[in-house]
Each structure stands twice: as structure tokens, then as C-alpha cells.
Amino acid sequence: MKKIAIIPPIPLTSHELNRRLRRYQSQARIGFEVDIRQLKGGPLLTDSEYDLFWASVYMILEAEAAEREGFDVVIIDCTADSGIVEMRQSLNIPVVGALEAGIEEASKRYPEKKVSILALDDDWKRMITRQLAAYSLLDSIITVECVGIHVYHPEKKNGMNQSEIRNFFQSLCKAGVAAMEAGAEVVVLGSTTVIDERDELEKYLGIHVIDPGAAALRKAELLIDKKSTREDIVSKKESETRYGDVIRKRLGL
């Protein structure tokens, strides 16, 4: 059994953790085990670069723990791909970012089609755009549209009610229509929290909609299929200091 660690950027409520876990388990292929790792600290939400910085600190710690426990791949369950550079430098196993995987899948599956991203709000539009620039992928999309509403609210222990869910979907559809009016033929969801709406949104818009979390899972499985795991990556020297070692020392953990 190959093991994939899913690392969100925030500590999750039990309801949200199970919601995400069901999504990944339902899409994982036979022979692959997925596990969502619960962070030991960090911000309750990631709505700024400052939040993302602190989130990445605890994500790195959890990623290194997952590697020690024998996981084969780490997935960053966040479209800001928080801490991806540091994790790739520190770990001996592959690290897959949801944003990178979503854009990569859109480009490979639909190479002739124009791609747009649906960000949750202006803050996420800015953060996603910055990460795309870091990847040199800004030219891969034509627009980033804002939904204007978040799906996950940590104070709502049981998630959104039915009225809030309908309101969110309507806003998602509106953003999707705006993307199409800008010329988009493929839409990449700008948050891994948008789980249950992909199929209905695709049906409503009549164009392809990509779930970045699912795309990251498919990429992780492919890396394992190609044996791009620990034994195929040059192992770091035993004496080499890991980022997590420095973090624990500085934070007194």
C-alpha cells in the first residue's frame, strides 16, 4: 500500500477534516492510502501572506513527520502551495502543490484551450497570482475571477447550512460565467475547499472544471507509479540539518 499525506495549511475542525478526507478517499485509486495530517499550530485561516508564512512553518513540521512515518508523497492541500519550496528542499520524497498540479493538468489535458482560475476573494486572487508568477505560469491563464465567498469557516463546527451552500454555489457560477465571458474554456477552482461543487459547476457552465486537490492526487499517484519515491531521489546526508530541526529549536517545540 502506497501512502499519500495530505497537508492543509490550517488546523481543521473535525467536520472539515472528514469532509476533505472523504473527497480524497473517494478519488484515490486502489492500492493508495491517503491521510489528512492535522497541524499542531498555525493560523485558523490563511487570508494573507503573513498567514501563509506561519502556516508553512507548521506544514513543514508535519511534512517531515509524514516522511519519517513512511509516506511516499506529500500533497499541499492549498492553492497558495504554501511552503512548497522549503518542503522540496528538506524532504526526500516528492511534494505536490495543488495549484501547480491544477494548472499543469489543465495545460496537458486541454493544451489549446484558454484557462481561468476562480479565486475565493481578492486576497486569494493576489496570493494565487503571486504563486503563478513564482512558477512562471502567469501566461498559462487568461484571468483570475473572484467568487466573493469562502466555503470553510472555522467557527462553523458543522459547516455551512443549506442556504449558505446555495448562496456559495450561485456566487461560484457567477464567477465562472465571468471567466467564460473573458474567453475561458477551462476553469481551475482556486481553492481546495471547493469540493462538492465541481460536477454541478461543470454542468452549469458547459466547460471543463478542474479540482486542484484531485489533480494533485492524480499527480501524486503518477509519481508513485513512476517510482519517483524515496529510493529514486538522492538522499540527504544524515548530518544535514532539516528545516524542521531549526523550527523546533527556534520555537522551543
Residue 108 host element (H or E): helix 98-109
CA distances (Å), 243 to each of 6, 67, 214, 229, 233, in order? 19, 13, 28, 20, 18
CB-CB contact of 164 with 136 (8 Å): no
Of the ranges 19-28, 95-104, 232-241, which one carries the lowest mean pLDDT score? 232-241
- Residue range 142-164: mean pLDDT, rounded: 95
Q: Residue 240 gets which letter from DSSP?
A: S
| Structural domain spans, the chain | 2-97+214-251, 99-212
Residue 99 host element (H or E): helix 98-109
Averaged pLDDT of the chain: 92
One-letter amino acid identity for 1? M
pLDDT value at position 240? 63
CA distances (Å), 235 to each of 109, 133, 240, in order? 33, 30, 10
pLDDT value at position 245? 75
* Complete DSSP assignment for 162-231: HHHHHHHHHHHHHHHHHHHHTT-SEEEES-TT--TTHHHHHHHH-SEEE-HHHHHHHHHHHHHHTT-SGG
Cα–Cα distance between 214 and 195 in angstroms, integer?
Answer: 9
Cα–Cα distance between 46 and 71 in angstroms, integer?
Answer: 26
Cα–Cα distance between 222 and 219 in angstroms, integer?
Answer: 5
Query: What are 184-231's pLDDT values in tens digits?
Result: 999 999 999 999 999 999 999 999 999 999 999 999 999 999 875 444
Phi-psi region of 199 (alpha: psi -120 to 50; beta: other; left: phi over 0): alpha
Would you say the CATH fold of 99-212 matches that of 2-97+214-251?
A: yes
pLDDT value at position 46? 94
Choices 3.40.50.1860, 3.40.50.460, 3.30.420.40, 3.40.190.10: CATH for 99-212: 3.40.50.1860
Q: Supply the Cα-derived Rg of the chain in whole angstroms.
A: 18
Q: Which fold has domain 2-97+214-251?
A: Rossmann fold (3.40.50)
